C-alpha cells in the first residue's frame, strides 16, 4: 500500500473513532491497527483464506479495538 493511501485511510479511521470517549491521542494507535488489519484481511482473502478465518481475524480485531477504547475511556474517567 502506498504511503499517501495509508495516511488517508488512517485519517478516515481516526475520524470515525473521534466520537469515542477517550483521549484523542490514544486514538492514533487503534486507527493504525484498524488500517493494518484491513490490509491483512485483503491479503488473506487473496491468498484463499476461508470466510470463517477472515471473520475470526475481524472479530479478534474488533474486540481488541473495543477493549483498547474502553480502557482509554476508563483511564480518563479515573483521572489517568
Q: Per the domain annotation, does 3 fall within a domain?
A: no
Q: Per the domain annotation, does 63 fall within a domain?
A: yes
Q: Per the domain annotation, does 61 fall within a domain?
A: yes
Q: Per the domain annotation, does 39 fall within a domain?
A: no
Looking at residue 10, what is its pLDDT? 85
Q: Per the domain annotation, does 27 fall within a domain?
A: no
CB 73 within 8 A of CB 21: yes
Three-class SS state of 35: helix
Average pLDDT over residues 9-35: 84
Residue 60's domain spans which residues? Answer: 51-75
Q: Per the domain annotation, does 2 fall within a domain?
A: no
Interatomic CA distance for residues 47 and 55, integer angstroms:
15
More confidently predicted of 45 and 11: 45
Q: Per the domain annotation, does 59 fall within a domain?
A: yes
Burial 9-43 (b: 16+ CB within 10 A, else e): bbeebbeebeebebeeebbeebbebbbebeeebee
- Write the burial class of residue 1 (CB in 10 Å: 0-12 exposed, 13-18 middle, 19+ buried): exposed
Domain count, the chain: 1
pTM over 0.85: no
Amino acid at each position: 500500500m502506498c504511503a499517501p493511501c495509508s495516511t488517508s485511510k488512517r485519517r478516515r479511521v481516526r475520524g470515525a473513532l473521534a466520537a469515542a470517549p477517550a483521549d484523542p491521542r490514544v486514538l492514533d494507535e487503534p486507527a493504525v491497527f484498524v488500517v493494518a488489519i484491513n490490509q491483512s484481511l485483503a491479503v488473506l482473502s487473496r491468498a484463499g483464506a476461508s470466510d470463517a478465518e477472515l471473520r475470526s481475524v475481524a472479530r479478534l480485531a474488533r474486540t481488541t479495538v473495543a477493549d483498547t477504547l474502553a480502557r482509554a475511556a476508563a483511564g480518563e474517567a479515573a483521572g489517568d
